[in-house]
Amino acid sequence: MINIPADIKHEIENLVKDLNYHCYRYYVIDSPVISDEEYDKGYRQLKELEEKYNYVLPDSPTQRVGAPPLDKLDKVKHTEPMLSLDNAFSHDEVREFDGRVKRSLKSDEDVEYTVEPKYDGLAMELTYKKGILYKASTRGDGYVGEDVTVNIKTIKAVPLKIEDVDIPEEIDIRGEVYMDVREFEALNAEREKGGEPAFANPRNAAAGSIRQLDSSITAKRKLHLACYGIGAVRDIKFASQWEFIEWLKKARFPVPVLIKLVKGTDGVIKVIKEIEEKRKDFSFEADGAVIKVNDFALQKALGVKTREPRWATAYKFTAHQGITRINDIIASVGRTGTITPVAFLEPVRIGGVTVSRSTLHNWDEIERKDIRIGDTVIVERAGDVIPHVVAVIMEKRTGEEIQFAPPTECPVCGSAVEKDEGGVAFRCIGLNCTAQVQQRIGHYASRGAMDIEGLGEKNVELLYEKGLVKHFVDIYNLKKHELLELPRYAEKSSQNLIDAIEKSKHTTLARFLYSLGIVHVGEYAAKLLARDFKDLEDLYHVKPERIIEIKQMGEKIAGSVSHFFNDPGNLHTLKTLKSLGLNISNPDYETVSSEKLPFEGMTFVVTGSLPKPRKEVEELIESMGGHAAGSVSKSTNYLVLGEDPGSKLQKAKALGIKTLSYNELMNMVKGEGRLF
């Protein structure tokens, strides 16, 4: 920041101001006035200037991308407690709340209230000093929360600097971090694809995202904020809640999507009904309405009772639930092979929508809730979108209900099924499973596998829809004249694809094994197999004990490889591929390095929520020579801890097993840590 030309400083400051303004219009008021390309151009220009002159303002939009991973979240004491709200469950209880307010104020006059939706998210406090975001903390127990400043900065709707209003010396602004329902569904689909457990609901997803130790993960998730409250404040005064909300709007803070100022309970109840009616159109989950005495002087006079303010209450909407019967349960196969139990229900109206199906998530969930075919159950539409079974009404049991056992074979193709070690998911291992065919074709043709240039996701989808490729075996039967009849394929592109397919017939065993999409077999594991088995046929009917003999191969991979090469359908497919001219060489055979790997002879167990998918972390451990086990035992050397580690941590402590944070593990991988 020394000897920076004044015009450069001025240019950087103007770029920051302009980009923050356009960010506000896009993310807060949903009214952009420039294109994404124009914003990106300005952003790149700002970043180049910042890097060249080492001059970065605290409110620069470049500071929203995340920071290095933390070892833990520090504790933060709230200057003023973040209180919880008392609940009202009927209009009569709203009137009773109003009566208590009037009695406490010793007044018969109608009280002025603000009414807004109750966001179902994670309560948050943002502390600004001299207008700059200084700290962000979770509610915690109301008195002490966790420091999540670096994560909050990744939410583009959060102002890094207060502008265009009177700026206090210090102010605590309170709100709710939440995730839109559709974005929640997209996140869960992505997690399922990566073999990670799904979040139960948008609130859990928001809480898990904002409490990440690696803020780059938070930055990838689409979180939002609605600001509605005030804590400690210095050098500025607000007369009312309404005045404070107006100040927030001018200062570019996101506020509740609907908030109204009314007098008396009739006005309050009218707005509650309006919010409940509009609830189905909100992008987020709203489980009620918040009612606050508007006048801050009256709030102070009313005070608090233990942990709840006397000047506010939360009206809770009736849950969108219904009672119905489970007529049947089926096992549904997703495009990655994951098998999910789905309940077929006696149709029931819930929240204005007829519900006839419900996900049961997994077999652990079925067992925990003891769900059976024929049961009478309570079904809820969480977020007004996703139906799920809340509980079984045991009193309705007749004794004729049927338990639904986990699958022993794929319901679509009949192939063998395996359960993730230490997980809850069942997966089909069949190469010929039509439920997962497009994903398998795309993986088979990918760069790290058979490297068939021109067979990207869109072209795979097109060829599948036109019936030309229903299995990756069909790739080798494609004809040029068939391609020429399709959109996007001209003479040159058609010939290029035919040439790429022909070229792929000459491959290595390591690449081919990876292309098959065997569960738990990544590129490195495929190379290890190729080093130990000379020919593809040597793997046919292989036993898991034989795979375990290979250094760095654990029981999980051994079981998966053995299942795959003992499946008759898979072996038939492999023989068909070879008959179509596939020529597999194996330059990796018997070229194993004699150098000892860093984790050789060590057993690791990974638990909790980590910055990377657990599967990826375990593959990394095994690539360094270690064994990634699914459960803690006396032979375990290290327990790698993520967030919410659960019972494995207690068992490790009882056995005296050493624990590692994710960062400590990464340092060891880089050779910067110490194996102790």
Give the catalytic positions in this structure. 118
> By C-alpha distance, which of 266, 311, 316 is closest to 102?
311
From the number of C-beta atoms within 10 Å of its C-beta (0-12, 13-18, 19+), residue 27 rates as: middle
Long-range contacts of residues 317-322, Cβ cutoff 8 Å, at least 24 apart = 317/276, 317/279, 317/286, 317/287, 317/288, 317/289, 319/380, 320/350, 320/351, 320/380, 320/381, 320/384, 321/350, 321/378, 321/379, 321/380, 321/381, 321/390, 322/348, 322/349, 322/350, 322/355, 322/378, 322/379
d(CA 661, CA 640): 6
> By C-alpha distance, which of 63, 62, 59, 50 is closest to 4?
50
Angle, helices 555-565 vs 568-579, to 10°: value is: 70
Is the distance from CB of 450 to CB of 457 less than 8 angstroms?
A: no
Is the distance from CB of 246 to CB of 80 less than 8 angstroms?
A: no
d(CA 491, CA 489): 7
Residues with Cβ within 8 Å of 605's Cβ and at least 6 positions away in sequence, in order, are: 628, 629, 630, 631, 632, 636, 638, 639, 640, 648, 652
Which residues share a beta bridge with 426?
A: 339, 419
From the number of C-beta atoms within 10 Å of its C-beta (0-12, 13-18, 19+), residue 84 rates as: middle
> By C-alpha distance, which of 547, 522, 521 is closest to 533?
547
Is the distance from CB of 429 to CB of 560 less than 8 angstroms?
A: yes
Rg of the Cα atoms in the chain: 30
Tokens read off for 676: 């102790």
CA dihedral for 551, 555, 558, 561, sign (positive or negative): negative
